[in-house]
Amino acid sequence: MSANLSDLLDLRSELKLDCDVLVVGGGAAGVAAAIIAARRGARVVLVEKYGFCGGGAVAGLSGTICGMYAATNDASAPPRQLVHGFLDEFVVAMEQRGGLAPPIRYGKTFTRVHDPLVWREAADALLMEAGVQVLFHTTVFGALVEGGEKVEGVVAYTKEGRTTISAKVTIDASGDADIVAMAGFPSFIGQDGRVQNPTMIFRLLGVDVDRFRAEYGDDTIMGNAVSELIRTRAAGNEYKLPRAKIWLFPTTRPGELLCNCTRVIGADGRELNPLYVRDFTEAEIEGRKQVREYARFFRDNLVGCEHSFVNDTGVQVGVRQTRQALGTHVLRNDDILAGTKFRDGIAQSPWPIELHAGAKPRVEWLLDDVYEIPYGCFVPQRGEGLLTAGRCLSAEHEAVASARVTAQCFSYGHAIGCAAAICALEGVAPRDIDGVAIRAELNREGAQLA
Q: pLDDT, tens digit, for every residue of 212-244?
A: 999 999 999 999 999 999 999 999 999 999 999
Residue type present at position 398: E
What is the residue extent of each domain of the chain? 15-194+322-444, 202-313
Q: Is the pTM of this model over 0.85?
A: yes
Neighbours of 262 (CB within 10 A): 28
Fold of 15-194+322-444: FAD/NAD(P)-binding domain (3.50.50)
> Does residue 403 carry a pLDDT above 90?
yes
Alpha carbons 38 and 175: distance in angstroms, whole number: 21
> Does residue 323 carry a pLDDT above 90?
yes
Across the range 284-288, mean pLDDT stands at 98
Average pLDDT over all residues of the chain: 95
Q: Please classify residue 183 by burial: count the beta carbons closer than 10 Å to its beta carbon, then call 0-12 exposed, 13-18 middle and 19+ buried.
A: buried
Contacts of 32 (CB under 8 A, 6+ apart): 86, 90, 389, 409, 410, 411, 412, 413, 414, 417
Contacts of 201 (CB under 8 A, 6+ apart): 60, 61, 62, 63, 258, 259, 260, 262, 313, 314, 318
pLDDT at residue 450, rounded to an integer: 80
> Does residue 3 carry a pLDDT above 60?
no
Q: pLDDT, tens digit, for every residue of 32-60?
A: 999 999 999 999 999 999 999 999 999 99
Q: Please classify residue 266 by burial: count the beta carbons closer than 10 Å to its beta carbon, then call 0-12 exposed, 13-18 middle and 19+ buried.
A: middle
Residue type present at position 261: C
pLDDT at residue 10, rounded to an integer: 75
Let me know: does 362 contact 413? Beta carbons within 8 Å.
Answer: no
Q: pLDDT, tens digit, for every residue of 87-119?
A: 999 999 999 999 999 999 999 999 999 999 999
Alpha carbons 120 and 118: distance in angstroms, whole number: 5
State the pairing for strand pair 150-158/161-172: antiparallel
> Would you say the C-alpha torsion 450, 392, 203, 91 has a positive or negative sign?
positive
Q: What is the CA radius of gyration of the chain?
A: 22
State the pairing for strand pair 150-158/256-260: unpaired
Across the range 11-20, mean pLDDT stands at 90
> Does residue 431 carry a pLDDT above 90?
yes
DSSP state for residue 159 in the 8-state scheme:
T
Across the range 278-295, mean pLDDT stands at 98
pLDDT at residue 361, rounded to an integer: 74
| 3-class secondary structure, 282 | helix
Report percent pLDDT > 70 for the chain.
97
pLDDT at residue 4, rounded to an integer: 61
Q: Please classify residue 89 by burial: count the beta carbons closer than 10 Å to its beta carbon, then call 0-12 exposed, 13-18 middle and 19+ buried.
A: middle
Closest CA to 234 of 244, 223, 219: 244
pLDDT at residue 1, rounded to an integer: 42
> Would you say the C-alpha torsion 230, 232, 233, 235 has a positive or negative sign?
positive
Q: pLDDT, tens digit, for every residue of 325-364?
A: 999 999 999 999 999 999 999 999 999 999 876 666 788 9
pLDDT at residue 436, rounded to an integer: 98
> Does residue 27 carry a pLDDT above 80?
yes
pLDDT at residue 8, rounded to an integer: 59
pLDDT at residue 6, rounded to an integer: 56
pLDDT at residue 375, rounded to an integer: 98
Let me know: does 400 contact 324? Beta carbons within 8 Å.
Answer: yes
